[in-house]
Structure 1
């Protein structure tokens, strides 16, 4: 059978155009085509060599591609199986950590429980100790209160038995002779009673009680700072209020109070005999002697101070008590006025100078105008044989309680200050 050629394969209309097609393929100068077979022949060996060199890299790349094994594609099953294995491993690690944390918490809770038990036990012991101290203090206070109540008829602090005759000269000599002692004892007592208290803070304590014999008694202790004043001004205000007490009582209580007599012109010693009529018609009398002294501290022995000591007269032959007509009121009072800077100086001296100079300088301007008034008073109303209703008797007792506050208000009005 005859082998087909390109001439037989090509249509007749393309045969004349064969040279142009060959030229368009770039074989016009470098190659030639066999007219008979239609095969391309290389004209020279150089072309063949160049063609071989160009084909060599392709062959090498093909060999390398054949040498590298193709990566096997993983299936979805294998991927999920690996993920499951990783998650199981992670769960085991987390479970181990959780077990360790549980153990640690159990240990810590055990220590906490033990610590809480120890703290509870210690607090219980401290509570018992504190309550024991309070009970001990209450026992002491009960003993003191019982002692005061049982010994109301004995001498009270700063009290002196005062008996006056009919001779006026002797009366005056008797009172002047006891003046220094009364002031000395009063100052010693009030200083001891106020020891340890903060002078810048107000303090008040009051006790009321009745004895088995129906005697009524009120004891009161006050420690009050007075701002913007001086020792001398406060001292003068107290003296003024005491000497005009009948006017003060009449104005504030709405009762009629008269002063029957004053035998002494000496400002340091005064006798006060007051008679008051309450709103319900009861009559109350008092017979007191007031001793006073002011020291400006120029002698160098101690700082400036003012002291007032008042005591009731036990027996007065010239002006005797009238128990069948009036209710008797006996009052013993001690008032000590000192400057706050001087109190701080005494505190620093007693504490071996532990107070800092900076604190003293910062408070010096304010403390220079601050005075501390310390008062202790005991007002006693003995049992009366008068037929006084219970309501009127309670009114008299309340008036004894209000008497101290009334004098404080009068002193504050005299000073023009806000508080005492």
Structure 2
């Protein structure tokens, strides 16, 4: 396996606390994007605009901190499965350092990293266990530039710039005391990876020059 080859692992289990956990690791070449900057800004934008429907606005919080807005706080009450709502609250730290040079090839190497972690307690926007099931999201997304070889219309090989995305995500659907029917809980478990998958689909479909348009990206759907 190379860094430019698509790869996915996913493990799901119930932990000792009774929480349903999903651990996912994947590597995805981004065929339509040529620079780390394009992919970095695209992912940031879509995480910022996840599920911005007016009906959820009173339960939604988005804050950006830091001189270059490299810290984002998102709190969402999103969608429902048969009237059972899911809430999530996380902070994302982003960094895109200056270009360095690959020690092997001597060519410029661009990188970017985004680290997400759930907020355990929030005095301003507290969790509502009496109304919602809690979803904790933690993970790391790393972007890296590389040179891939393609064939020209004349059958000749040439190097072109490319970007690869590597993700490690842990999503945890917390045990709830709400009277959630078993089939509803199973549906929520089956769809636990949807927040990340929706953004992954969007970035895989993106092509340069990137058009940043907010999409309604749901965590869980009815």
Per the TM superposition, whether the score is higher than 0.5 is: yes
The answer as to 2:115 corresponding to 1:321 is: no
**Counterpart in the other structure of 2:21:** 217
Aligned to 2:3, which of 185, 193, 199?
199
- Structure 2 SS opposite 1:406: helix
The answer as to 2:220 corresponding to 1:415 is: no
Aligned to 2:96, which of 287, 294, 299?
294
Q: 2-side partners of 1:213 and 1:310: how far apart?
A: 22
- Structure 2 SS opposite 1:386: coil
Q: How many residues align?
A: 193
C-alpha contact 1:234 1:415 (8 A) present in aligned 2: no
Higher RCO (Cα < 8 Å, 6 or more apart): 2
**Counterpart in the other structure of 2:159:** 365
CA shift digits 1:275-298 (9 cap, x unpaired): 013141111111100110112316
Q: CA deviation at 1:215?
A: 1.1
**Counterpart in the other structure of 1:394:** 186
- Cα distance 1:415–1:296, how it changes in 2: closer, same or farther (>3 A)? farther
Aligned to 2:46, which of 241, 244, 247?
241
- Structure 1 SS opposite 2:41: helix
- Structure 2 SS opposite 1:225: strand
Alignment of 1:254-273 (within 5 A): 257-258=56-57, 260-266=60-66, 267-273=69-75
Q: CA deviation at 1:242?
A: 0.5
- Cα distance 1:334–1:257, how it changes in 2: closer, same or farther (>3 A)? farther
C-alpha contact 1:331 1:377 (8 A) present in aligned 2: yes
Return the structure number with greater strand share: 2
Q: 1-side partners of 2:157 and 2:136: how far apart?
A: 41
Q: Which of these two proteins has the greater Rg computed from alpha carbons?
A: 1
Return the structure number with greater helix share: 1
C-alpha contact 1:237 1:415 (8 A) present in aligned 2: no
- Cα distance 1:416–1:299, how it changes in 2: closer, same or farther (>3 A)? closer
Aligned to 1:284, which of 73, 77, 86?
86
Q: 2-side partners of 1:341 and 1:317: how far apart?
A: 47
TM-score (norm 2): 0.77
Q: 2-side partners of 1:303 and 1:325: how far apart?
A: 47
- Structure 2 SS opposite 1:288: strand
Q: CA deviation at 1:308?
A: 0.7
In structure 2, the gaps of 5 or more residues are 149-155, 210-222
CA shift digits 1:219-245 (9 cap, x unpaired): 000011122421111111111111111
C-alpha contact 2:94 2:112 (8 A) present in aligned 1: yes
Q: 2-side partners of 1:298 and 1:221: how far apart?
A: 26
